[in-house]
């Protein structure tokens, strides 16, 4: 009977916990935001309206910038007591990658379903609407508690991080509005790891996306041209070259793991298109590769290697290479005692019972454009002990992890925004280091 009583008690406690989550205003706000379908290239007007309401409720100034029509950049300002000091910029992005129930979602991807275990399901729960709401709730709590902040704090929300930020961060960092913010440090997105600590990203890998077009003999498929005279044959040669390199880099990955992503170059063939009919040899086949450079690779030599592979694969035929995206290697943020932002960040997280480890992520974030402009930036999402589900079906986040993250940001914002002018250099680029590559 005792075990039955124990199970009953646990069930009651679980039900009470789930009910508490359902009635938590921060959770509810998070759910509302996830329920707005901000899939890449969608109309972001509902998201702008959501943030307009949040800014009005918080009593803070909000500006909407449109460098490109249909791609709003949102800026919310929490004034500090000394605006002559450099500010803290809390950045996130509104857009999310596509999600469809046909991909195998347990619950609809934009339902923000809260299950009986206290887990919120939905696209953007990890990447990165949770962080946006954590910023907001932390700043609201600091304001409600009359906590004085020395430096101005800005929340910025970007429209197109997932597609390369051509209409968002890339234009924003060049704008007069960004210059007027007098940024000293930017915080951006991190990621989740199923490990008992958090990652603090100090540099991003540079993405190269290339399209390779192969042109060859087109005829009735009953004919039998030499393989290297066909588009498919030349593309096979290209694929072999790239996958041989990929296999070598995969060996490096297996040796160092995802926690040392800066040490290898990832390569993936993500698109393969061609052909017009079942009985015609195609005259044109197209490949798209996504490449993330290791942080020490020589870009000039690597590009020369790509062109050499294309020449060899063409075997005298017609193969072209076009860059769809080609980001230069970007600097790193200093992660030593010489950077008070970094030492403060690590110390605060330790006080919040979260160990953070400096890492290079396997991908890239908007923070790379901030660092390239000469400003230190850290990527951080407080999601320890959480399966990495960014861009995956059944993306989800535990409610306790989400709420704990608010407390962590309260402490981080309070301490970072109250670093004195004597502690921080007036030149933000002093906390940037150019790396090899």
Using the predicted structure, report yes or no on whether residue 101 has a pLDDT greater than 50. yes
Question: Tokens standing for 276?
Answer: 């017009």
> Has 303 been annotated as catalytic?
no
DSSP per-residue string spanning 173-188: TTSHHHHHH-EEEEEE
Domain hosting 403: range is 16-203+330-433
How does DSSP classify residue 159?
S
- The residues, any chain, with a CB within 8 Å of residue 50's CB and separated by 6 or more, are 32, 33, 36
User: Average pLDDT in the 253-275 region?
Assistant: 94
Of all residues in the chain, what percent carry a pLDDT higher than 70?
95
Number of Cβ within 10 Å of residue 283's Cβ equals 17
CA 28 to mean position of chain CA atoms: 23
Q: What angle do CA 19, 21, 25 make, to 5 degrees?
A: 120
* Domain end (from 326, 357, 376): 326
Instruction: Quickly state the pLDDT bin for 16 (edges 50, 70, 90).
Output: very low
Query: Residue 419 sits in a domain of what CATH number?
Result: 3.40.630.10
Would strands 113-114 and 119-121 be described as parallel, antiparallel, or unpaired?
A: antiparallel
Query: Residue 255 sits in a domain of what CATH number?
Result: 3.30.70.360
Instruction: Quickly state the pLDDT bin for 435 (edges 50, 70, 90).
Output: low
User: Which range has the top average pLDDT, 15-29, 166-180, 216-230?
Assistant: 166-180
* Domain identity same for 342 and 224: no
pLDDT digit string, tens, across residues 43-82: 999 999 999 999 999 999 999 999 999 999 999 999 999 9
Residue 186 to residue 191: CA distance in whole angstroms: 16
* Domain identity same for 190 and 55: yes
User: Average pLDDT in the 83-105 region?
Assistant: 96
Instruction: Quickly state the pLDDT bin for 18 (edges 50, 70, 90).
Output: low
pLDDT digit string, tens, across residues 345-386: 999 999 999 999 999 999 899 999 999 999 999 999 999 999
- The residues, any chain, with a CB within 8 Å of residue 70's CB and separated by 6 or more, are 43, 44, 167
pLDDT digit string, tens, across residues 393-427: 999 999 999 999 999 999 999 999 999 999 999 99
pLDDT digit string, tens, across residues 310-325: 999 998 889 999 999 9
Using the predicted structure, report yes or no on whether residue 2 has a pLDDT greater than 50. no
User: Average pLDDT in the 225-244 region?
Assistant: 95
In a domain, 10, yes or no: no
At residue 20, the pLDDT reads 86
- Closest Cα partner for 362 from 347, 337, 379? 379
- The residues, any chain, with a CB within 8 Å of residue 178's CB and separated by 6 or more, are 172
* Domain identity same for 160 and 211: no
- In 94-247, the DSSP E strands lie at 113-114, 119-121, 153-158, 183-188, 198-201, 207-215
Instruction: Quickly state the pLDDT bin for 436 (edges 50, 70, 90).
Output: low
Q: Torsion angle, CA of 53/56/57/59, rounded to 10 degrees? A: 160
Sheet containing 396-398: give its strands across.
113-114, 119-121, 396-398
* Domain identity same for 296 and 346: no
> Has 127 been annotated as catalytic?
no
At residue 316, the pLDDT reads 87
Angle between helices 129-144 and 399-416 (to 10 degrees): 60
Using the predicted structure, report yes or no on whether residue 17 has a pLDDT greater than 60. no
* Domain identity same for 182 and 57: yes
Burial 39-71 (b: 16+ CB within 10 A, else e): beebebeebbebbeebbeebebebeebebeeeb
Q: Torsion angle, CA of 60/173/181/91, rounded to 10 degrees? A: 40
At residue 12, the pLDDT reads 43
* Domain identity same for 48 and 146: yes
CA 423 to mean position of chain CA atoms: 30
* Domain end (from 270, 304, 326): 326
End-to-end CA distance of the chain: give it in Å, rounded: 67
Using the predicted structure, report yes or no on whether residue 13 has a pLDDT greater than 50. no
Using the predicted structure, report yes or no on whether residue 274 has a pLDDT greater than 50. yes
At residue 270, the pLDDT reads 96
How many domains are there within the chain? 2
Residue 46 to residue 73: CA distance in whole angstroms: 14
* Domain end (from 273, 302, 326): 326
Contact assessment for residue 71 and residue 167, using Cβ atoms and an 8 Å cutoff: yes
* Domain identity same for 212 and 181: no
* Domain identity same for 153 and 222: no
Q: What is the mean pLDDT of the chain?
A: 94
Using the predicted structure, report yes or no on whether residue 9 has a pLDDT greater than 90. no
Q: Considering the candidates 127, 137, 160, 161, report the single residue annotated as catalytic.
A: 161
Residue 413 to residue 134: CA distance in whole angstroms: 11
Residue 207 to residue 266: CA distance in whole angstroms: 10
Q: Is the pTM of this model over 0.85?
A: yes
């Amino acid at each position: 009977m005792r075990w039955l009583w124990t199970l009953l008690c646990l069930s009651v406690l679980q039900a009470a916990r789930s009910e508490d989550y359902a009635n938590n205003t921060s959770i509810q706000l998070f759910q509302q935001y996830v329920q707005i379908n901000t899939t890449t290239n969608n109309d972001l007007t509902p998201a702008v309206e959501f943030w307009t309401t949040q800014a009005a409720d918080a009593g803070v100034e909000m500006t909407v910038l449109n460098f490109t029509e249909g791609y709003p950049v949102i800026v919310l300002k929490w004034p500090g007591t000394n605006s002559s000091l450099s500010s803290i910029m809390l950045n996130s992005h509104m857009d999310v990658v596509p999600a469809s129930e046909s991909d195998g979602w347990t619950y609809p991807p934009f339902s923000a379903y809260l299950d009986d275990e206290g887990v919120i399901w939905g696209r953007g729960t990890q990447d990165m609407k949770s962080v946006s709401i954590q910023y907001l709730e932390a700043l609201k709590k600091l304001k409600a508690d009359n906590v004085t902040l020395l430096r101005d704090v800005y929340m910025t929300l970007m429209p197109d991080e997932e597609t390369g930020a051509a209409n968002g961060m890339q234009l924003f960092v060049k704008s007069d509005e960004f210059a007027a913010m007098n940024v000293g440090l930017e915080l951006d997105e991190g990621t989740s790891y199923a490990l008992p600590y958090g990652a603090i990203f100090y540099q991003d890998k540079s993405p190269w996306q290339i399209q390779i077009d192969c042109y060859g003999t087109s005829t009735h498929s009953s004919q039998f041209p030499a393989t290297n005279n066909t588009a498919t044959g030349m593309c096979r040669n290209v694929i072999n070259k790239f996958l041989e390199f990929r296999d070598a880099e995969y060996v490096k990955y297996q040796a160092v793991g995802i926690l040392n992503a800066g040490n290898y170059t990832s390569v993936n063939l993500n698109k393969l298109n061609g052909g017009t009919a079942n009985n015609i040899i195609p005259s044109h086949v197209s490949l798209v590769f996504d490449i993330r450079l290791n942080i020490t690779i020589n870009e000039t030599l690597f590009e020369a290697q790509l062109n050499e592979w294309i020449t060899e694969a063409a075997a005298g035929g017609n193969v072209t290479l076009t860059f769809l995206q080609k980001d230069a290697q970007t600097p790193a943020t200093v992660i030593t005692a010489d950077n008070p932002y970094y030492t403060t960040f690590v110390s605060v997280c330790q006080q919040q019972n979260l160990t953070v480890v400096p890492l290079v992520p396997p991908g890239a974030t908007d923070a790379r454009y901030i660092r390239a402009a000469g400003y230190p930036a850290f990527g951080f999402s407080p999601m320890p002990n959480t399966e990495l589900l960014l861009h995956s079906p059944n993306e989800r986040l535990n409610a306790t992890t989400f709420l704990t993250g608010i407390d962590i940001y309260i402490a981080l914002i309070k301490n970072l925004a109250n670093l004195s002018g004597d502690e921080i250099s007036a030149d933000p680029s002093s906390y940037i280091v150019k790396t090899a590559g």
